[in-house]
Amino acid sequence: MREYDEPDGEPILPEDLLAPDPIPADARRLGLDRNTEEGALLALAGSLDPSKLSHRVIAWVLIIVLVAPVLLGVLQEIRTL
Nearest to 59 by CA among 71, 44, 43, 38: 44
* pLDDT higher than 80, residue 2: no
- The predicted pLDDT at position 1 comes to 53
User: Is the full-model pTM beyond 0.85?
Assistant: no
Q: Residues 57-73: what's their mean pLDDT?
A: 95
Distance of alpha carbon 60 from alpha carbon 66, whole angstroms: 10
Q: For 65-80, what is the mean pLDDT? A: 95
**Which tens digit of pLDDT belongs to each residue from 14-58?**
777 766 777 888 888 998 888 888 888 888 888 899 999 999 999
What is residue 14's predicted lDDT score, i.e. its pLDDT? 72
Annotated domain spans of the chain: 1-47, 50-81
The amino acid sitting at 36 is T
